[in-house]
Amino acid sequence: MTSARLEYGTAAFDRGVKRLLTSYRAIPDGAGVRLAKKTSNLFRKRAETSAPGLDVSGLQRVISVDPVTRTAQVAGMTTYEDLVAATLPYGLAPKVVPQLKTITLGGAVTGLGIESTSFRNGLPHESVREMEILSATGDLVVARPDNEHADLFYGFPNSYGTLGYSVRLEIDLEPVPPYVELRHVRFRSIEDLQAAMITIVDSHDYRGERVDYLDGVVFARDECYLVLGRQTDEPGPVSDYTDDQIFYRSIQHDDVDEPKRDRLTISDYLWRWDTDWFWCSRAFGAQNPRIRRFWPKRYLRSSFYWKLIGYDHRWNIGDKLNARKGEPPSERVVQDIEVPIERTADFINWFLDEIPIEPVWLCPLKLAFDDEAPAAEAVTDPDQPWSLYPLQRGHAYTNVGFWSGVPVTPGEPGYANRRIELKVSELGGHKSLYSESFYPEEEFDRLYGSTAYRTLKDKYDPRARLLSLYEKAVKRA
C-alpha cells in the first residue's frame, strides 16, 4: 500500500467550488437559497419553485484518499456508491455506509444515515473530522470539533440544509477484508430478539463468534431474524443477490437453534439492500419471477425505483389504481424511528397490532462518543453532543424502518403517522425527518433541539435565507 495521498479530483473540486460561489452570488439579495439538484432521497413532497438554485454539479466526487491515515477528502454531493468505489481498492470503507447507493455523504451528515456498523461506529457524522460548509451568508466555513465553529460542527447533523450546505468533508475510514460471513438467526419472539441485540451491542459477539455487522428483519411477531456479519479474508464461494435472487427472502428459514449461513463479497454486502430497495421493489412487480426475468439488471437498483416513485407522486398513480379496484387511497407510512433498545419489543408489538405493514427493518445503534465527552464549551449537553438529534451518549437504541402505506382515515390526514410519532415519543425515542412529519411546532422544538437550533440559525443564517427546520420537515415548504 502506498504511503502517498491519492489525489482524485482536487482541481475539479476547486472548479466546482468556484461554480457554487458564482451561483450563490447570482441569487438576488434577500431571496431564499436552495440547492439546484434533480434527485433526492427524501420522502416528503416539496413546494414547487422556479427560483434559481446553487450549482452543486462540481461537488460530486472523491477528492483524495489517504490509505495511511485512513481518511478521505470528499465533496459534499458525492454518492456513497462513488465513495465506496474509491476506497475499497485500498481495503478501506467509510465507517458507516447507508444502504442505498445514491445517498450522498453530505446528505447522510446533514440528515441522518445508519447501517449495520452503527452499533459500533455510531452515525455517519461521527466519523467526520472536518466539514467545509457554505453558510446562508455565502461564506465558506470550516467546522471542526476544536475550532471557533465547533457549535456548527455539532449542530449540523439533522439540520437538513437549514444551516448551510456541506461542500467538503474529511472522514475517517476503516479497514475491511474482501468478504463477509453471514448468520441469519431466527427468533420466535420479539422479546428474545431484543435480548440478543442487547447482548451483541455490549459484547460484539454471539455464541462465541465475533459480530462486525448487525441488523435484522421482522416478518411477523413469531418470525424475526438478526443478520450477523463477520469480516473475513478467507476465500470461498459467495452468493449473488444482484439478479434473480432476493436478499431479504434468503434470510428466512425454520430452525431457531441453528442459524442459516451465507457469504458475500464486501461490496455486495454493503449494497445488499439496494438491489430491491430492501423489499420495496415488490410494489413495482420486480419480485415477480415472470417479470423479474425480463427486468433489465441495470434497473434493479434504488435510483430507478425512485423514478417510479416520482411518477406516482406526480400523477397519483397508486391512488387511481386503488380507486379502480374500489379501494380507498393510501396514507404513505415511510419512516425510520429510534427507540431505546430495551423498548424495541414494546414498539414492535404495538406497531404490529396497530399498523398493518410488514416486513420491518431493525438496526441497533450507539453513539461513537462513548468513552470521552466532547469539550463542554462546544456543545449544550456533553451527554447528548449532537444537539439537533439528542441521543444519549452511552445508551443503545434500535432504528426501526417501515416503508409502505395504509388506507387513509377519512378526515384525519396523516393519522397513522401521527400515532407513530406519539408512540415513539412515549417510549423516549425520535424519528428521522427525511419523510413526512406531523408534529405541532412546540412539540417539534422540544424534540429537536430548539434552543441550540435558534442560536445556530441566528449566527449562521441571520437574514433567514434558508428555510427553518420546522418549515422544511413539517410544513414541507
pLDDT tens sequence across 4-16: 566 667 889 999 9
On whether the CB atoms of residues 165 and 24 are closer than 8 A, the answer is no
What average pLDDT does range 186-204 have in this prediction?
Answer: 98
> What totals of helices (H) and strands (E) does the chain contain, helices first?
16, 17
Q: Is the pLDDT of residue 424 over 50?
A: yes
What average pLDDT does range 101-116 have in this prediction?
Answer: 95
User: What's the pLDDT score for residue 137?
Assistant: 93
Which residues have CB under 8 Å from 6's CB, separation 6+? Answer: 64, 65, 66, 67, 90
Residue 375 exposure: Cα atoms within 13 Å on the Cβ side: 12
On whether the CB atoms of residues 344 and 194 are closer than 8 A, the answer is yes
DSSP letter, residue 169: E
User: What's the pLDDT score for residue 1?
Assistant: 43
On whether the CB atoms of residues 152 and 145 are closer than 8 A, the answer is no
Which residues have CB under 8 Å from 171's CB, separation 6+? Answer: 71, 72, 74, 94, 95, 105, 127, 128, 129
Which of 60-69, 81-90, 324-333, 352-361 is predicted least confidently? 324-333
Percent of the chain predicted with pLDDT > 90 = 78
What average pLDDT does range 192-206 have in this prediction?
Answer: 98
Is 3.30.465.10 the CATH classification of the domain at 6-175?
Answer: yes
Exposed/middle/buried for 49, CB within 10 Å: 0-12, 13-18, 19+?
Answer: exposed
Q: Which residue has the cell 481495503?
A: 91
User: What's the pLDDT score for residue 149?
Assistant: 95
Q: Is the pLDDT of residue 324 over 80?
A: no
DSSP letter, residue 112: T
Residue 358: name the closest of 218, 466, 244 by CA: 218
User: What's the pLDDT score for residue 39?
Assistant: 58
User: What's the pLDDT score for residue 3?
Assistant: 45
Reduced to 3 states (helix: H, G, I; strand: E, B; else coil), residue 375 is coil
pTM score of the predicted model: 0.93
Which of 39-48, 290-299, 337-346 is predicted least confidently? 39-48
- In this prediction, residue 376 has a pLDDT band, given cuts at 50, 70 and 90, of low
Exposed/middle/buried for 373, CB within 10 Å: 0-12, 13-18, 19+?
Answer: middle
Per mean pLDDT, which of 17-31, 42-56, 210-224 is the most reliable? 210-224
pLDDT digits (tens, 9 = 90+) for 301-320: 998 988 888 776 666 766 66
Average of per-residue pLDDT values in the chain: 91
pLDDT digits (tens, 9 = 90+) for 40-89: 555 555 555 555 689 999 999 999 999 999 999 999 999 999 999 999 99
Residue 142 cell numbers, joined: 470550516
pLDDT digits (tens, 9 = 90+) for 150-159: 999 999 999 9
Domain-wise residue ranges, the chain: 6-175
User: What's the pLDDT score for residue 5?
Assistant: 62
Phi-psi sector, 4: left (phi>0), alpha (psi -120 to 50), beta: beta
Question: Beta strands of 137-198 (E only): which ranges?
Answer: 140-143, 165-175, 179-187
User: What's the pLDDT score for residue 373?
Assistant: 54
User: What's the pLDDT score for residue 415?
Assistant: 96
Q: What is the rounded CA–CA span in Å between residue 386 and residue 393? A: 10
Percent of the chain predicted with pLDDT > 70 = 90
Q: Is the pLDDT of residue 462 over 50?
A: yes
What average pLDDT does range 211-223 have in this prediction?
Answer: 98
Q: Is the pLDDT of residue 35 over 90?
A: no
Q: What is the rounded CA–CA span in Å between residue 153 and residue 132? A: 10
